[in-house]
């Protein structure tokens, strides 16, 4: 990261007013000062929820993107935090009423982003909650009769409905538009990827491990592309893998694959032992963990598997595992957890080019999730397209009218894509591929509204 000062500055300027319909200079008078934008562009702004044993048990904490403002939200055996799309709540599973082994008796709870208004949503068990993109439903898994089944419920805990049989896993994900759910099932002895409608209908198998007769192939770590047209996953297909090798995370047999959302055009992207793929926000790149050359490092490649490049090089001493990897919405940073089984795992952030690896936690940081920060009630969570509803709207390099320099100008009727949000501002991408800040609303006046 460039400086802590810039992160703190962005946190403060979010409290300062913005202006949308102000008189703007002519378009020809607007210039982009690339150097002036460097600090604002490179400083990540946001909040991360995570699980830590800092207080003695598995509790949920939140912190700023630079590791500052660390706040403990829960005080029990809690895990799997997941932000609501509008950033106002966190759903999680908790062992506070558990009784059985392997935390199979967890239940699902929800709380406000500051830890208030704690509410129990399930009473018969539930783990690994996942909020739907529209914020109206929550997926979760329930262990029964020797296996996991996938359930869905309303965001208030009502209408709990079983979607799959109990031969599944806890590997599932909403499609970006919320119309489908991809999941893994072990019905044929090893995990394969299926897809179903959001109500559980039309369950369709997408992957078929070609190695039979006792092979330990299967598919896991599924992830939708941002546009919902493709999925990446990890598989040991077509390999005569032993059970010991299958259970060895570092056996080197994992590889990253991509396919269309209907299972077509299956393509192997890696060949040297790789896992945990994570799409960039624009879908152009995929970060992943590689075991090549006997080490364990983070790499990145284009979405078609080309231009594979190593990002880390022994940046985390004694690291034997990367547990989570994801891009933050600005597309310029990656968050990940790293550590080893004998000590602990911590959360880190680095530039998307592998620069400025920064440790955010020191006494354990697991299951980090990025918060889509907003206080705007007028627009849904990203991704979304907005239309300018005032005569003109300035674009700035910072979310502030006083210190932010103008870098562009929108006219009434122009549309932009929302990349992420901060308070009443939105980081947007214009039709000319300019990424800048725009004010969404101020004092009851709206400058940007959802495009039809």
pLDDT tens digits for 155-181?
999 999 999 987 777 889 999 999 999
Q: What is the pLDDT averaged over residues 305-332? A: 85
What pLDDT score was predicted for residue 376? 43
Give the global pTM.
Answer: 0.73
CB–CB of 224/182 below 8 Å?
A: yes
How far is Cα 160 from Cα 158, in angstroms, rounded to an integer?
A: 6
| Confidence band of 280 (pLDDT split at 50, 70, 90) | very high
Percent above pLDDT 70 for the chain: 76
CB–CB of 323/338 below 8 Å?
A: yes
Q: Residue 227: is its pLDDT beyond 70?
A: yes
Q: Which two tokens stand for residue 298?
A: 């983070």
Task: Please give the residue that has the higher pLDDT: either 423 or 284.
Answer: 284
What pLDDT score was predicted for residue 25? 31
Indicate the domain borders of the chain.
4-41+379-450, 46-370
Domain 4-41+379-450: give its CATH code.
Answer: 2.30.30.40
Helix-strand-coil percent breakdown of the chain, rounded to 5?
A: 5, 40, 50
What pLDDT score was predicted for residue 128? 94
Q: Residue 209: is its pLDDT beyond 90?
A: no
Q: What is the pLDDT averaged over residues 32-57? A: 62
- Homologous superfamily (CATH) for 46-370: TolB, C-terminal domain (2.120.10.30)
Buried b or exposed e, range 29-56, using 16+ CB within 10 angstroms: eeeeeeeebebbbbbbbbbbbbbbebee
């Amino acid at each position: 990261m460039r400086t802590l000062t810039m992160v703190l500055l962005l946190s403060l300027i979010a409290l300062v007013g913005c202006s949308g319909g102000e008189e703007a200079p002519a378009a020809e008078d607007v210039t982009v000062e690339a150097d002036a934008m460097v600090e604002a562009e490179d400083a990540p702004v946001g909040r991360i929820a995570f699980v830590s044993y800092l207080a003695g048990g598995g509790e949920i904490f939140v912190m700023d993107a630079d590791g500052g403002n660390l706040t403990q939200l829960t005080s029990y055996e809690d895990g799997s935090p997941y932000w609501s799309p509008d950033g106002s709540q966190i759903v999680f599973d908790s062992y506070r009423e558990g009784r059985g082994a392997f935390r199979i008796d967890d239940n699902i709870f929800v709380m406000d982003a500051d830890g208030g208004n704690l509410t129990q949503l399930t009473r018969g068990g539930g783990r690994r909650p996942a909020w739907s993109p529209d914020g109206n439903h929550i997926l979760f898994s329930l262990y029964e009769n020797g296996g996991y089944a996938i359930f869905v419920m309303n965001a208030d805990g009502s209408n709990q409905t079983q979607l799959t049989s109990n031969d599944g896993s806890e590997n599932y994900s909403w499609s970006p538009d919320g119309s489908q759910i991809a999941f893994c099932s072990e019905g044929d002895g090893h995990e394969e990827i299926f897809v179903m409608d959001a109500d559980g209908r039309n369950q369709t198998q997408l992957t078929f491990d070609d190695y039979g007769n006792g092979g330990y192939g299967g598919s896991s770590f599924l992830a939708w592309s941002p546009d919902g047209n493709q999925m990446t996953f990890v598989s040991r297909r077509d390999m005569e893998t032993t059970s010991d090798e299958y259970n060895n995370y570092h056996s080197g047999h994992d590889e990253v694959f991509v396919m269309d959302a209907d299972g077509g055009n299956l393509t192997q992207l890696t060949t040297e032992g790789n896992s945990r793929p994570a799409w960039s926000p624009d879908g152009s790149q995929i970060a992943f963990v590689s075991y090549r050359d006997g080490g364990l490092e983070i790499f990145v490649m284009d979405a078609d598997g080309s231009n594979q490049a190593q990002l880390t090089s022994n940046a985390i001493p004694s690291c034997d595992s990367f547990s989570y990897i994801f891009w933050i919405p600005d597309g310029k940073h990656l968050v990940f957890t790293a550590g080893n089984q004998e000590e602990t795992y911590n959360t880190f952030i680095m530039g998307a080019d592998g620069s400025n690896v920064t440790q955010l936690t020191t006494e354990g940081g697991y299951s980090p999730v990025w918060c889509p920060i907003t206080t705007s009630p007028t627009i849904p969570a990203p991704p979304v397209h907005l239309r300018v509803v005032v005569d003109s709207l300035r674009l700035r390099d910072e979310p502030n009218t006083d210190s932010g320099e103008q870098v562009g100008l929108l006219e009434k009727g122009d549309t932009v894509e929302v990349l992420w949000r901060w308070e009443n501002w939105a980081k947007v991408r214009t039709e000319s591929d300019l990424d800048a800040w725009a004010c969404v609303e101020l004092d009851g006046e709206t400058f940007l509204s959802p495009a039809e």
